[in-house]
């Protein structure tokens, strides 16, 4: 699984966050996507590697400015044991 953290500037409210999340879900088969206007970022979890150029274009298409995209392997943390 992969974790992508995308710097997104310009989100002002919860609807902005939802708009970005919806567009990412439409464009990619992701496990989870969450956006935070306070942190100025969108975090995406995906089983497959994503095309970061396409990811940037999808988010940019929502009207927001894209900064750095970080990609790292993601392992779900176990709560017990």
**pLDDT (tens digit per residue) in 6-38:** 999 999 999 999 999 999 999 999 999 999 999
Give the rounded percent of residues in the chain with a pLDDT score beyond 90. Answer: 91
The DSSP H or E segment spanning 75 is none
Residue 63: closest CA among 21, 27, 10: 10
75, 11 contact by CB (below 8 A): no
pLDDT at residue 19, as a whole number? 97
């Amino acid at each position: 699984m992969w974790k992508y953290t995308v710097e997104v500037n310009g989100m002002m409210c919860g609807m902005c966050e939802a708009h970005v999340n919806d567009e990412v879900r439409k464009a990619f088969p992701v496990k989870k996507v969450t956006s935070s206007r306070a942190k100025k970022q969108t975090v995406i979890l995906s089983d497959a590697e994503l095309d970061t150029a396409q990811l940037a274009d999808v988010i940019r298409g929502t009207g927001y400015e894209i900064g750095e995209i970080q990609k790292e392997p993601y392992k779900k943390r176990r709560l017990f044991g």
